[in-house]
Every structure is written in structure tokens, then in C-alpha cells.
Amino acid sequence: MQRVGELMAKHVDDEVIEQVRSSVDIVDVVGDYVQLTKRGRNYFGLCPFHGEQTPSFSVAQEKQIFHCFGCGAGGNVITFLMDIEGFTFQQTINRLAERTGLDLQLDEGPSSASNESTRNPAQDKWRAAHTFAASYYHHLLLNTVEGEEALDYLKNRGIDEETIKKFQIGYSMPGWDNLTLLLQQRGYEPSEMEKCGLLVKQEEKERYFDRFRNRIMFPIMDDKGQVIAFSGRILDANADEAKYLNSPESELFQKNDVLYNMHHARVAIRMKKQVIISEGFLDVIAFSRAGIDNVIGTMGTALTQNHITRLKRLTSQFVFCFDGDKAGMEATKKAFQATSGKTLQRSALLLPNQSDPDDYSRQHGLEALAKLAGEKGLSEMAFSMVYYRKGLNLQNDSDVLQYTDTIITEIAKSASPIEQSYYVKQLAEEVGIGQDVIEQQLRKQLAKRAKSEQTERPALERQPVVKAPAQKLDATSRAEYLLLAHLLDDPTVFRSKGIQEDMELFVHDELVEAFLHLLAFYEKYPTGDFQRLLEVTENPSLKKVYMFATMLDKDPESSTKEIEDSMRQLRKYRVEKRIEALMHESKVAEKLSDYTKALELAKQAIELKRTLHTI
């Protein structure tokens, strides 16, 4: 077990920790990741630390703690952020301080994105270089003759200066080494700038040049709004180059993790309880100009499980709004598939004439785009009917049969009988085939599907899901936890009740360890500080013990009686276990024909039994 003194080595003054902790509300911080609903005095939501369908994750605003009754996770606002983001203690204090306007600038040390990995010390320079590059590109766009063509291009697309500033849009000049020379002048090593994606190395000449040239620059930012990458769009649509050029992946930027505009959209997503997922930079910007703030962009990549996990912390309602062309329809189909079975409400907004949100806003106006965003989207089944109808002629018998068979297969995947009935009726009307015929075919599909699932899924996977029963404590365990709960509430209980001298009072190993850890903690913090205890307790099992104890119902008016009753129960249990041991030893001695020893042990057991009523 780690010593408390070692755990205290956080290099942050206790006064600073208390100042930061008391300046934020855990409900606000947790609410950035979890949809919370108030029930009684506490807030509840789906636990972000394990998959569940029924909310068992509780946030107690009065105590400023959280606890999951499902997986046992718990702590305070600092430990929550450390657990969910993988931050170090110092990083967490800095993030919380920034929320309240405090500028601590603590030395964050190595990143704890993984407990075993350390942050590349060059990352700070990489971030600074990206910030400088973004400012440089932004300046070129707004304040130079060279940037006028790009600025006119954006304004012709309806993007005004306010929007340009909001998204820090910029422009990179055609020259080969404009940024390269500026970075070198500021002390940045070209080799490092190549690693982070700003420069490219020309191997044969051993020289470096700018990765982005003559492009409109869209900075890609992390959740804090710090620039970590770029995407550059060509001005000349006829140029023999890729339309968009993105930064390569690096330790700063992993495309499968990052969502464009997340730093702007997070609060709006949580407030509206909905996220609109689009594809490109200009699509997100079009929505923003239309007053729709809960929009993020996948930047041309498919929606990944990392994306889904991050968004699910904010909302359970996903609206897909990709391009209306074939590629966009494919992206929507894949998005539905990727989010299937994740207890999400999913729908799709379809754009007419193969347009994207940016095109649509320029053709029909921002109000039309805003109206579209407010409409109820198509369900997965309704979208599938549109998707599979594309390119078919329903006046052609062969196409009708192909379409009908495909849609019946899709309907069979629906878990809801109501949905199945609804879409069977709709399909029958659409293709002119009798509803009873389609229902008959659907029953065959359902039977085939059920049989396939039974044979393909492993036996273990076919076992019914058994919900874990609520944790029930026997009298002794409850006494242990109740006593620990009072010790957590009031350090003086240690001394006033003689518990400090009775080191064998607790029975189970995890409670003994929690007791000893708490005893060491109170040596440093004699007046007690439960929030601080959670922060310095690095053992997850110990933290769960403390959280479970503090969530127990206690009677504040009868605390003395509860403490004494708990101690009595534990001492009685200890005596009973000793009696059992003596009787067992007596029987062993008797089998070995050592009757004198057997009799002596039995007498000791009888004497102990007589003391039980005096405890």
C-alpha cells in the first residue's frame, strides 16, 4: 500500500486546491460529459465509466461528489476530471482554474493520457507553433494584399469577417518557405515542425518547406480551443491538387479522436440535448451562421467509436446531416450502423439535389437551413427506404421485387413490433403489394434471423443478461461501513471512541486498508477534508470503499448510538470468530486423543461465550 505522504506529493498548495475546488460546481463540470436529471436532492444520468441503460450515476450537489451505484466509481470534481480525461492532478487543477478565470499555470508535468506514457516534451512547442501559424495565416487573410483573393472567395460564399474571426480562418501564401523562415526566426527546429505537420522535408536537398501553400486555412482545435492541426482548401477548383489538404496525424492530432468545432459546440449540445453531425468545415460554418451552434464536423472521415463515445457523454440524440450526394448517403448509412445498439435516438436530415449544408444555405438562405435543422429527421428505417430506392425504377417489376426484398430484410432488423407494423404498411402502399404478403415474408425473415443468431452467437453470449442485484450488507459489513462513514464525517471519533487504539476493529481486508489509510491521512489533516482524501487516494478500490461508505444513510441525531452499536457489533463478531476457532481447535485435539488440550480449549470458548452479553 502506498503511504499517504507519497500520495500527497502533488506539488500544489492545499489552499490553491481548495480555492479551485470551491470555485466550481461539480454539477456543471459533470454536466459537460453526462446528461443529468434532477431527482430529489441529487442529479442522475448514465455513467460515463461503464455501459448502462438505466441511470445509476449520481451527483450530490450538497456534498460535491459523484457516485455510480453500478460500477462503484466515485469521487469529487477533481477526481472526476482526472478519470474521464486522463489528466494529471496538476493538469486538472489548471483546467478547473481556467473555467473560473484563475490563471495558475501550474507545471503539469507528464501527461497521464496513459499511466505508463509520458508526454513528448516537444508538444508544448508544437502547440505554440500551431498557435503562431494560425495567427499568421489569419493575419494574411484579413490584413494583406496577398490574402484579398481568398478573402473575396469567402465573402462571396457569405462568410463575413465575424465568422472568419470566430473560426480563425486564414490563408497560406503560394511561396515555398514563408512559414518555414518565420518559424526558424522564432527558434523552432524545422525537424520538429516536420514532426508536428507544419513543414515537409525534401529529402534529396535536405531542406524544409511549407506544407500548406496558397490555401484557405481552417485551424483544427482541441476541446480547449487550442490549435493542433490544419486543413487547407484550394482556391482554384480546376487545380490538379486535392481539394483539401489535412495535417498528418501526430501526437497532437489523431483524426479519429477530433471533431471539428467541438470546443464551440459542447455547451450548446448539452443545452439542446442534441448534436447535429455534419461532414465538412464549411458545412459547420454554414450552420453556425444560421444560428445553429450544436454542430460538429467529422472532417471527411467516418464517424468513429471514439467520436460516438465523446458525443454520447453530452447527449443521446444524434442527427446526421451529411451531403446529399451518393458519398453523403453512404456516410449516413455507415453512421446509423456505427451507432446501432447504443441506446441513442438517431435521425437523418436529407438535403435535396445532392447539395451539402453550405450549398443549401447559399441557394435557399440561412433561414431555410435553420428551419431544416429544426425539422424532425428521418428514422433509420425511413432513411433506409430512401437509400435503397435510389437508382431503382419502381415501375419496373424486377426493381420492385429487389427493393421489396431488401426493405423486408431491413424491417426484420427492427426490434420494435410497432415499427415493423408501421413500415410493412408503408412498404405495401409504396410498391402495391398486399400487406398480408409482405407480413408473411417478414415472418420468414424473422424466423431465419432468429435461427441464425442462435447458431452464430457463442453459447456464453446467448446467456440472458442478469442484472446485478443491489448490494446487500450483512450486519457485520454494515457495521464496518457505517463506522467508517462516521469516521469520514468526523475525525474526532478516532480519539473519542478509542478506535485509534483498537487496530483490529475492522474485519474485512478492504475495510482494514481503508481504515489504516484514513488514519494516516488524518495525521496530516487532523481536522479532516473528505474532498482532499478523494484526491490523494490513488487506489481505485479504496476510493470505492470511501464512496460507498459516505453514501450510506446515517442518522445525524443518533450518531453516537450508531457508532457505539457498530463497534459493539464488530467486537461481538470478533469474539464469535474466536469462539469458532477455539471449538475447531478443540475438535482437532480430541481427534488426536489430546483430551486435556481439547478440554482446555473448550473451556476458553465457553468463557468467551459468557462475555458476549457484556459487549
Q: For the chain, give the percent of residues with pLDDT over 90.
A: 46
CA–CA–CA angle 508, 537, 40 (5° rounding): 85
pLDDT per residue as tens digits for the range 253-265 = 999 999 999 999 9
Quote the pLDDT of residue 464.
36
Which pLDDT score is estimated for 87? 75
Rounded mean pLDDT of 304-325? 90
The pLDDT of 10-26, averaged and rounded, is 82
Mean pLDDT over each residue of the chain, to the nearest integer: 86
Rounded-to-integer distance, Cα 148 and Cα 161, Å: 13
Residue 331 corresponds to which cell in the numbers above?
Answer: 456516410
pLDDT reported for residue 6: 36
In angstroms, rounded to a whole number, what is the distance separating the alpha carbons of residues 445 and 410? 10
Contact 62, 551 (CB under 8 A): no
The reported pLDDT for the residue numbered 121 is 65
Which of 281-285, 328-332, 397-401, 411-415 has the lowest average pLDDT? 411-415
- Quick one: DSSP state of residue 261? T
Residue 85's pLDDT band, with cuts at 50, 70 and 90, is: confident
The order of strands in the sheet holding 345-348 is 295-297, 275-278, 317-320, 345-348
Q: Which helix (H) or strand (E) holds 401?
A: helix 397-412
Output phi, psi for 557, to 5 deg. Answer: -80, -15
Average pLDDT over residues 28-44: 89
Question: Is residue 470 scored above 50 in pLDDT?
Answer: no
pLDDT confidence bin for 463, thresholds 50/70/90: very low
Of 245, 289, 244, 247, residue with least CA distance to 264: 289
In the numeric block, the cell 457489533 is attached to 569
Residue 5's CB is within 10 A of a number of other CB atoms, namely: 11
Classify residue 432 as left (phi > 0), alpha (psi -120 to 50) or beta. left
Q: For residues 420 and 209, what is the distance between their CA atoms, to the nearest angstrom?
A: 59
Helix count (H) and strand count (E) of the chain?
27, 15
Instruction: For residue 526, give the C-alpha cell.
Output: 487532523
What is the mean predicted confidence (pLDDT) over 62-76? Answer: 89
CA separation, residue 368 to residues 52, 277, 318, 520 (Å): 38, 18, 21, 65
Q: 281 exposed, middle or buried (CB, 10 Å; 0-12, 13-18, 19+)?
A: buried
SS3 336: helix
Instruction: Name the band, by pLDDT with cuts 50, 70 and 90, for residue 468.
Output: very low
Confidence of residue 457 (pLDDT cuts 50, 70, 90): very low
Q: What is the mean pLDDT of residues 37-52?
A: 85
DSSP string for residues in 418-469: HHHHHHHHHHHHHHT--HHHHHHHHHHHHHHHHHHHHHHS-TTTTSPPPPPP
How far apart CA 158 and CA 358 sit, in angstroms, is 10
Give the contacts of 446 (CB within 8 A, at least 6 positions apart). Answer: 412
- d(CA 118, CA 467) in angstroms, rounded, equals 39
CB under 8 Å to 534, separation ≥6 — which residues?
A: 65, 74, 75, 76, 78, 79, 543, 546, 547
pLDDT (average), residues 78-87: 82
Residue bearing the bigger pLDDT, 463 or 423: 423
Pairing of the two strands 227-234 and 207-210: unpaired
**The pLDDT of residue 529:** 86
Give 9-73 as a 3 state SS string: CCCCCHHHHHHHHHHCCHHHHHHCCCCCEEECCEEEECCCCCCCCCCCEEEECCCCEEEECCCCC
Helix boundaries (H) for 459-558: 475-489, 492-496, 509-524, 530-536, 540-550
**pLDDT band (50, 70, 90) for residue 471:** low
pLDDT at 456 over 60: no
Task: Read off the pLDDT of each residue in 315-344 and give the average, rounded to a whole number.
Answer: 92
Provide the angle, in degrees to the nearest 10, between the axes of the packed helices 89-99 and 77-85: 110
Mean pLDDT across the stretch 108-125?
52
How far is 549 from 482, CA to CA, in rounded Å?
7
- Cβ neighbors of 388 (< 8 A, separation 6 or more) are 403, 406, 407, 410
Q: Is the pTM of this model over 0.95?
A: no
Say if residue 589's pLDDT is above 70. Answer: yes
Q: Which residues pair with 348 in a beta bridge?
A: 320, 378
| pLDDT tens readout for residues 156-203 | 999 999 999 999 999 999 999 999 999 999 999 999 999 999 999 987
Distance CA 416, CA 406 (A): 18
Beta bridge partners of 230: 219
pLDDT digits (tens, 9 = 90+) for 360-395: 999 999 999 999 999 999 999 999 999 999 989 999
For the sheet containing 227-234, what is the strand order? 170-172, 215-221, 227-234, 244-246
Do the beta carbons of residue 286 and residue 361 sit within 8 Å?
A: yes
Element (H, E) at 403: helix 397-412
High-pLDDT (> 70) share of the chain, %:
90
pLDDT tens sequence across 267-294: 788 778 899 999 999 999 999 999 999 9
Rounded to whole angstroms, the Cα distance separating 58 from 64 reads 11
- Rounded CA-CA distance 342/173 in Å is 45
Burial (CB count <10 Å: 0-12, 13-18, 19+), residue 308: middle
pLDDT for the residue numbered 535: 86
Segment 454-468 shows an average pLDDT of 42
